[in-house]
Amino acid sequence: MARLVFDIETSALPLEYFDEAQQEYLFRECERISDEAARSARRAELLQQCNLWPFTARVVCIAMLNAETRRGQVLFTADDYEERADEAGPVEFVACVDESELLTAFWDVAKHYESIVTFNGRSFDVPFLYLRSAVLNVPISRRDWLGYRYQTEPHCDLAEQLTFYGVSGRDGAARRFNLDFYCKAFGIESPKSHGVSGMDVNSLVEQGRYREIAEYCLRDVKATALLYQIWKERLAGVK
C-alpha cells in the first residue's frame, strides 16, 4: 500500500491583506486591555497565532516522503522562483511561483497514495490544506482524510496514536507531547536540532530564506517517517 508522509509550514499573511473590519475583528480583545504593555504583548501573541489559521495564513512549504521508499519532494514558494527542481537524489526541492501552484502540485501527488501519515495532521495540516485549497479554488484530489477518527486508514495521525486518542486527557500517562519531545524519547534526531523551528517561519519568509524553511520541513517529515516505523513495529494494534 502506497503511504505518504507529509508536513506543511505556514506563514501569516501581511496585515495589509485584511481590510479595517477584519483587522478590528482579529484584534478586538486587545482594545479591552487597558495596560499599554499588556495590550501590545497580547497583540503580538495574536499576530503569531495568525500562522495557525487558514484564513489568516498561507502554505509556504509541503514536504512529502513515500513511507516505504523514502523518496519524495519538497514543494516551497519562493520570490526568486525558477522553473526547475533542485537535486536528483531521493528528495527533490521544487520551487513554486505561488501558493496555488504549490497546492495544485501537492494534490497531484496525493491522488497516487492510498493512505497518509502525519503528526497532528488531523487537527492542523489536513484542515488547513482543505480550507486554503477552497479559498484559492484549487481542486482537492483526496477528500477522505478527516473521516472516522478511530482508525489508521487512510490517515494515521501519530499525535492521535501516541496518546491513544487522548485517553489520558491533559495530564495523564498518555498526555500529548510535541514532535521534538517524542523524537528525543525514541532516539530520533529532532527536526529542531539545526536551530530552526516552526516559530521561525515568519521571519525566514520575511528574509527570503525559503530554502531553509524547506529543509526544516523535510527534517520534520523524515522524523515523522521514523516515528511511524517505531509506532508500527511496537504499538500498532494496541487498544
Q: How confident is the model at residue 181 (pLDDT cuts 50, 70, 90)?
A: very high
The helix (run of H) or strand (run of E) holding residue 127 is helix 126-135
Q: Is 58 helix (H, G, I), strand (E, B) or coil?
A: strand
- Residue 160 has a pLDDT of 97
Amino acid in position 140: I
How open is the CA angle 5-214-206, to the nearest 5 degrees?
A: 140
Q: Residue 127 corresponds to which cell in the numbers above?
A: 484542515
Q: How confident is the model at residue 31 (pLDDT cuts 50, 70, 90)?
A: confident
Residue 19 has pLDDT above 90, yes or no: yes
Domains and CATH numbers, the chain: 3-12+58-234 (3.30.420.10)
pLDDT-wise least confident of 55-64, 91-100, 127-136, 192-201: 192-201
Looking at residues 23-48, what average pLDDT do you find?
90
Which letter does DSSP use for residue 177 in this model? Answer: -
Amino acid in position 200: D
- How confident is the model over 203-235, as pLDDT tens digits? 999 999 999 999 999 999 999 999 999 999 999
- Residue 85 has a pLDDT of 55
Cα separation, 225 vs 67, whole angstroms = 6
- Residue 88 has a pLDDT of 61
Mean pLDDT over the full length of the chain? 93
Dmax over CA atoms of the chain, in Å, equals 58
Cα separation, 165 vs 187, whole angstroms = 23
Please choose, from the candidates 215, 179, 198, 216, the residue with its C-alpha nearest in 3D space to the C-alpha of residue 86.
215
Q: Residue 157 corresponds to which cell in the numbers above?
A: 495521525
Overall residue count recorded for the chain in this entry = 239
- Residue 173 has a pLDDT of 95
- How confident is the model over 93-149, as pLDDT tens digits? 999 999 999 999 999 999 999 999 999 999 999 999 999 999 999 999 999 999 999
- Residue 233 has a pLDDT of 97
> Could you give the percent of the chain with pLDDT greater than 70?
97
* Pairing relationship of beta strands 85-86 and 91-96 according to DSSP bridges: antiparallel
Looking at residues 13-31, what average pLDDT do you find?
94
Q: How confident is the model at residue 187 (pLDDT cuts 50, 70, 90)?
A: very high
How open is the CA angle 152-140-22, to the nearest 5 degrees?
A: 105
Q: Write down the pTM of the prediction.
A: 0.94
- Residue 87 has a pLDDT of 60
Instruction: List all residues 6 or more positions away from 138 whose beta carbon is below 8 Å from its beta carbon.
Output: 100, 103, 104, 107, 132
> Could you give the percent of the chain with pLDDT greater than 90?
81
Residue 153, φ and ψ in degrees, nearest 5: -125, 135
Q: Is 47 helix (H, G, I), strand (E, B) or coil?
A: helix
Residue 81 has pLDDT above 70, yes or no: no
Residue 156 has pLDDT above 70, yes or no: yes
Instruction: List all residues 6 or more positions away from 92 whose beta carbon is below 8 Å from its beta carbon.
Output: 72, 73, 74, 85, 86
* Helix pair angle (99-110, 126-135), 10° resolution: 120
The residue to which cell 491513544 is assigned: 164
- Residue 194 has a pLDDT of 78
Cα separation, 182 vs 228, whole angstroms = 11
